[in-house]
């Protein structure tokens, strides 16, 4: 009987496998993905993480020469590095992904051959900008493992985001499914994390939208952002406790994505601008200025002062902006950002990342 999964090990001369995962912008509905809500997100070509898998005699996780630095010119260099970058690089993400991948395959009876590999990574996604830099590394690693073990058809597309999140949870990273779903599917995605579907299937209902529905968007970010991993805690506990204000506000945030889907389909960009602004205002009411951080709030307000719609891309560190009045307003926004010391880039949207095998696995899951 043929095993469920890969059988023969690749030779050391087998081709190198390389995958990219792109930065993610939460356009509407975030952070309601953590609260059985709805979101609209898009992948952007501006920033990405790359993971490279090469067959080898021993399994090796290779540290990045910059992000996993262990050699310093002095103790001052070491301390400055830790103060700016923290204690963690990407090696831990690669290792956690391997663990979760292996555990899931074992649980599901998916056979893996006994070949080894070396894993390395690179990323240009700015740190702590709410652009899903950590999950991009995990997502790209997961794709490499799917292809190395030839089990892409054995793990349904809908399941993969949860496994990616599980790898991050191994490391204490607090997050929802939105980013991982967006990075697995690519393109522009509407996500409904309703409780019934989440409880029954372990995933939400995901709909890919045509990227041509989007108006021109702009990414604003700070070179020295806040930590995006610390702002969920108090609000989540209040939600779990049934706090009426938090529960109703989060439902309203989720509904913004539903309204936004209609606005995009109808190309009602005035409505989209209103929804984007409302999304940030609701987040600010729930989390408070202290949690959001003055620098993050200033990025939003710089855009609003020239009449642009703006909101966080994630939990802080970067903002997505839309200029409903066109090029002249874009010029005003660009000048305002430069004067405030913020970086601004036109958003380049990624197309769908699903290949034929992915689509077949998705269809077989829904059958």
The residues assigned a catalytic role are: 179
Task: For residue 102, give every residue at least 6 positions away whose Cβ sits within 8 Å of its Cβ, in sequence order, or none.
Answer: 112
Give the Cα separation of 69 and 63 in Å (integer).
Answer: 8
Q: The tokens of 199 are what?
A: 């409880």
Backbone phi, psi, residue 326, to 5°: 90, -160
Q: Is 343 exposed, middle or buried (0-12, 13-18, 19+ CB in 10 A)?
A: middle
The DSSP code sequence of 134-180 is HHHHHHHHHHHHHHHTT-TTTS-TTTHHHHHHHHHHTTT----SHHH
Give the Cα separation of 231 and 289 in Å (integer).
Answer: 11
Per DSSP, the three-state class of 211 is: helix
Angle (nearest 5°) at CA 95 between 89 and 97: 105
Location of structure tokens 């952002």? 225
DSSP H or E segment with residue 39: strand 38-56
Per DSSP, the three-state class of 282 is: helix
Q: The tokens of 128 are what?
A: 């702590």
C-beta neighbour count of 282 within 10 angstroms: 17
User: 358 vs 141, 185, 363, CA distance in Å?
Assistant: 16, 9, 9
Phi-psi region of 46 (alpha: psi -120 to 50; beta: other; left: phi over 0): alpha
Contact 116, 57 (CB under 8 A): yes
């Amino acid at each position: 009987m043929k095993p469920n999964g890969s059988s023969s090990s690749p030779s050391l001369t087998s081709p190198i496998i390389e995958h990219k995962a792109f930065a993610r912008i939460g356009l509407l509905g975030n952070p309601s993905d953590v609260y059985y809500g709805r979101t609209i997100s898009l992948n952007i070509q501006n920033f990405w993480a790359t993971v490279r898998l090469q067959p080898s005699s021993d399994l090796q996780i290779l540290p990045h020469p910059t992000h996993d630095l262990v050699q310093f010119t002095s103790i001052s260099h070491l301390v400055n590095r830790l103060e700016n970058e923290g204690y963690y690089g990407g090696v831990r993400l690669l290792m956690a992904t391997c663990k979760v991948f292996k555990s899931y395959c074992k649980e599901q009876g998916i056979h893996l051959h006994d070949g080894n590999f070396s894993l390395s990574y690179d990323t240009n996604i700015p740190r702590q900008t709410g652009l899903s830099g950590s999950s991009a590394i995990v997502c790209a690693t997961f794709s490499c493992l799917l292809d190395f073990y030839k089990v892409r058809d054995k793990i349904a597309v809908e399941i993969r985001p949860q496994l990616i999140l599980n790898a991050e949870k191994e490391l204490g990273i607090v997050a929802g499914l939105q980013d991982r779903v967006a990075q697995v599917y690519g393109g522009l995605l509407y996500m409904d994390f309703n409780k019934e579907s989440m409880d029954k299937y372990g995933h939400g209902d995901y709909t890919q939208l045509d990227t041509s529905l989007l108006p021109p968007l702009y990414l604003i970010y700070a070179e020295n952002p806040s930590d995006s991993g610390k702002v969920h805690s108090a609000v989540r506990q209040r939600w779990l406790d049934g706090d009426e204000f938090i529960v109703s506000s989060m439902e309203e945030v989720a509904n913004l994505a539903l309204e936004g889907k209609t606005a995009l389909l109808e190309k009602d960009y005035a409505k989209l601008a209103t929804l984007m602004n409302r999304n940030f205002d609701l987040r600010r009411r729930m989390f408070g200025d202290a949690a959001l951080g003055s620098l993050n709030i200033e990025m939003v307000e710089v855009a609003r002062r020239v009449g642009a719609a703006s909101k966080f891309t994630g939990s802080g560190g970067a903002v997505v902006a839309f200029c409903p009045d066109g090029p002249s307003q874009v010029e005003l926004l660009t000048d305002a950002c430069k004067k405030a010391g913020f970086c601004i880039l036109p958003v380049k949207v990624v197309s769908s990342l699903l290949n034929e095998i992915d689509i077949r696995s998705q269809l077989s899951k829904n059958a």
